[in-house]
Structure 1
Amino acid sequence: MPHLALYTFGVLKTPLADPGPLTREFYDIGEAVYRKIGRHPGYLGHAEPAERGRGVFFEADWGDWGEFAVPTWYTKGRTAETTALATTLSLWTGLRPAFDAVYTGLHREALNRRYDWFERTGHPAHVFWWVPEGVTPTWQDGVSRLEHLGEHDSAPHAFTFHRPFAPDATPLRGEGSVPG
């Protein structure tokens, strides 16, 4: 049975190393969100570096998730002091569990605050695609699919909650539907 890969990417208003209150709020809620989502039904796992460090993305060892990559339109810093991004790469059993995790509870509260923390870039913030069971998506997979989505809209190769596709590439019950 295929699994659903989810890549998210956002450009923060300030670098992750910024000691200001908004950055602290973002980190505090982010850690709580990860703990909660990690226990959500349908969640299979997410990319984590071998060693954690605030703002350390580019030089981290991501194991099977591959070398870290960002969209071509990200132009901010790439060091621990200057990185201003938030990104995730995760695996799910399907769209319904991912939808429920994203749009309920603590994550929903964080989404309501996203414009406090993130710039409005005009680019998509998330993309889904199906992967065969046992396959680990890579950061480069996520980047290329997010960029494809931004250039071509939803398609079986790269889609959103609003225009989802089944593993066999058929559209799911029209726009706005999330399958069970």
Structure 2
Amino acid sequence: MPHLALYTFSTLKSPLTDPAPLVREFYESGEAVYREIDRHPGYIARAEPAQHVQGVLFDADWGEWGEFVVPAWYDKGRSAETTALAATLSLWSDLRSAFDAIYTGLHRVALNRRYDWFERTGHPGYVFWWVADGAIPTWQDGVSRLEHLQEHGSAPYAFTFHRSFDPSGTPARLEGVGTKSEVR
């Protein structure tokens, strides 16, 4: 059975290594959010570096998740001192599980604070796509899908909660999300 890949990307107002209270707060809340999501029903796996060092994303060893890359619109630093972004890459069993994990618990609390931490860029912040059972998406896959979503909108190749698709490419409506007119 196919799995659902999810890539998220946001540009932070300050670098990850900035000692300011808001950055520390974001970083510390992120660790708690990950612990909670890791236990969520439907969660399968997420990209994690072999060694975790705050601010090091581009030079980290991500194993089978591939080399860390970012969308073309990211125009901030790439060193440990200047990297100002948050990105995740994960696998889920289905759209409902991902929705429930993202819009409940500690992640929901964090979402309510997102504009304290992140810039408003006008770019999509996340994208979904289906992968074959056993396949591991790469960071490049996530970036390609997010950029496709930016340029073309939701399609079976790259979609959102509001305009989602099942593994066969048929429009799918997630109960409680969007309106019927959004599913085409």
User: What is the TM-score of this pair, normalised by structure 1?
Assistant: 0.97
Equivalence for 1:143: 143
| Cα-to-partner distance string for 1:16-50 (whole Å, 9 max, x where unaligned) | 01000000110111000000000000000100011
| Counterpart check, 1:10 vs 2:13 | no
- Structure 1 segments (4+ residues) deviating >6 Å: none
> Structure 2: how far apart are the matches of 1:155 and 1:112?
27
| Partners of 2:7 and 2:87 within 8 A in 1 | yes
**Shift of the alpha carbon at 1:122?**
0.4
Q: Which amino acid aligns with 1:33?
A: V
| Partners of 2:76 and 2:83 within 8 A in 1 | yes
- The 3-state SS of whatever aligns with 1:40 is coil
> Structure 2: how far apart are the matches of 1:48 and 1:76?
22
Equivalence for 1:22: 22
> Structure 2: how far apart are the matches of 1:146 and 1:43?
21
- The 3-state SS of whatever aligns with 1:59 is coil
Unaligned regions of 5+ residues in structure 1, if any?
none
| Cα-to-partner distance string for 1:81-133 (whole Å, 9 max, x where unaligned) | 00000000000000000000000011000000000000000000000000000
- The 3-state SS of whatever aligns with 1:136 is coil
> Structure 2: how far apart are the matches of 1:89 and 1:176?
24
**Shift of the alpha carbon at 1:173?**
3.2
Identical aligned pairs, as a percentage? 73
- The 3-state SS of whatever aligns with 1:145 is helix
Unaligned regions of 5+ residues in structure 2, if any?
180-184
**Shift of the alpha carbon at 1:51?**
0.6
> Structure 2: how far apart are the matches of 1:37 and 1:100?
10
Q: Which amino acid aligns with 2:70?
A: V
| Partners of 2:163 and 2:173 within 8 A in 1 | no
Aligned partner (choices 171, 174, 178) of residue 176 of structure 1: 178
Equivalence for 2:37: 37
Q: Which amino acid aligns with 1:156?
A: P
Equivalence for 2:182: none
- The 3-state SS of whatever aligns with 2:7 is strand
> Structure 1: how far apart are the matches of 2:18 and 2:158?
33
Q: When the two structures are aligned, how many residues end up with a matched partner?
A: 177
> Structure 2: how far apart are the matches of 1:10 and 1:39?
24
